[in-house]
Amino acid sequence: MSIFEAILLTVITASTPLVIAALGELVTERSGVLNLGVEGMMIMGAVAAFAGAQTSGSPYVGIICGIAAGALFSLLFAFLTLTLVANQVATGLALTLLGLGASGMLGEPYVSVPGIRLEEIVVPILSDIPVIGHVLFRQDLIFYLSIALVIGVSWFLFRSRAGLKLRAIGDSHTSAHALGIGVIRTRYLAVMFGGACAGLAGAQLSLVYTPQWAENMSAGRGWITLALVVFASWRPWRVFAGGYLFGAVTILQLHAQAFGLGIPSQFLSMLPYAATIVVLIIISHNRRTTMINTPASLGKAFVPER
């Protein structure tokens, strides 16, 4: 295996959880709900996936547990913000704090227990293509799912009727409501989809990235995905590209150090965030793109009776 392939493989592992969680958050935000609890949902997914895999002996059961945990945990957020109309920002932050604390408690029996790694699925024929075959077609299930999700979410949002309704709600919940679209119901589903994706991303952390359970092992990746959604200006394929850019910068800075290039590691660690700020400046500079992409109702509560 060449160094080039080796780098690509690590970039994929580092980028996959970012892409998955950011896609989930993108759908949530497209419906007009801002859920800052991605970090909390991700870590709950990680602990549930690890526990599920340990208990059953199968990493696939772990994946299902991770997705379920993320979705259920997001349901708490949905209930508070959609039904009880609690402040979305505060509730999202609370969700992260609760998730970090609760996962630490639930995960206590699993500290320093050897993990179960999700095995690779080798796609016949395609995996024999030089370089690309090895990198793209000898991957774990979660990587394939991440690609399917990008295509699926993109299709759903821009090609399906349900996606059109979801975007309509995100842009103007009152108009959508007047047209008879179920605002609250759709938002519940969007939030839970976001939670399920965050849970899947968490499962990737504890079953693929580093097959182990450690408290706080998400280490801020949930926050990166929030930046990523803005960076991508709410577009699925840009989330994909952005996720890989963030992942590649992380990996390349480590290789740059190992090669002895004299770039300060702190500077390279900062790059993805600096890039986000630059993109924010660019998109907010151009009012038209901002208007087109940002869901207009983002973060606003919807109360049908008033």
Partner 1 sequence: MKKFALTLAASAAAIIGVASAAQAADKTKVCFVYVGSHTDGGYSQAHDLGRQQVQAEFGDKIETPYLENVPEGPDAERAIERLARSGCKLIFTTSFGFMDATVKVAAKFPKVKFEHGTGYKTGPNLATYNSRFYEGRYILGQIAAKTSKNHGAAYIASFPIPEVVMGINSFEQGARSVDPSFKLKVIWVNTWFDPGKEADAAKAMVDQGVDVLTQHTDTTAPMQVAEERGIHAFGQASDMIAAGPKAQLTAIVDTWGTYYSKRVHALLDGTWKSEQSWDGLKDGILKMAPYTNMPDDVKKMAEETEAKIKSGELHPFTGPINKQDGTPWLKAGEKADDGTLLGMNFYVEGVDDKLPAQ
Gap between the Cα atoms of 7 and 135, Å rounded: 10
For residues 191 and 33, the answer to whether their CB atoms sit within 8 Å is yes
Q: How far is the CB of 193 from partner 1 (least distance, A)?
A: 24
Q: How far is the CB of 104 from partner 1 (least distance, A)?
A: 6
For residues 13 and 209, the answer to whether their CB atoms sit within 8 Å is yes
Residue 266 interacts with partner 1 (CB under 8 A): yes or no: yes
Apex 210 CA angle, 206 and 213, nearest 5: 45
Site map 227..256 versus partner 1, x via CB under 8 A? -----------------------xx--xx-
Beta strands in 136-291 (DSSP E): 138-140
For 210, which DSSP code? S
CA 134 to chain CA centroid, nearest Å: 25
Residue 154 interacts with partner 1 (CB under 8 A): yes or no: no
* Cβ proximity to partner 1, 233 vs 253, nearer residue: 253
* Cβ proximity to partner 1, 91 vs 297, nearer residue: 91
Q: How far is the CB of 40 from partner 1 (least distance, A)?
A: 9
Write out the binding residues for partner 1, residues 172-231 only, by CB under 8 A: 205, 209-212, 214-217, 219-221
Site map 34..53 versus partner 1, x via CB under 8 A? -----x--------------
Site size for partner 1 (CB under 8 A)? 43
* Cβ proximity to partner 1, 193 vs 246, nearer residue: 246
User: What are the tokens at 130?
Assistant: 């030089």
User: What are the tokens at 82?
Assistant: 């959609």
Angle between helices 38-56 and 183-204 (to 10 degrees): 60
Residue 260 interacts with partner 1 (CB under 8 A): yes or no: yes
For 118, which DSSP code? P
Q: How far is the CB of 6 from partner 1 (least distance, A)?
A: 4
- Give me the half-sphere count of Cα atoms (radius 13 Å) on the Cβ side of residue 211: 16
User: N- to C-terminal Cα distance for the chain?
Assistant: 63
* Cβ proximity to partner 1, 154 vs 212, nearer residue: 212
Residue 80 interacts with partner 1 (CB under 8 A): yes or no: no
Q: How far is the CB of 132 from partner 1 (least distance, A)?
A: 18
* Cβ proximity to partner 1, 237 vs 267, nearer residue: 267
Gap between the Cα atoms of 238 and 19, Å rounded: 10
The H or E element spanning position 302 is: none
Q: Where do contacts with partner 1 occur on this chain (CB under 8 A)?
A: 3, 6-7, 10, 13-14, 39, 93, 96-97, 100-101, 104, 108, 111-112, 114-115, 205, 209-212, 214-217, 219-221, 250-251, 254-255, 257-260, 262, 264-266, 269
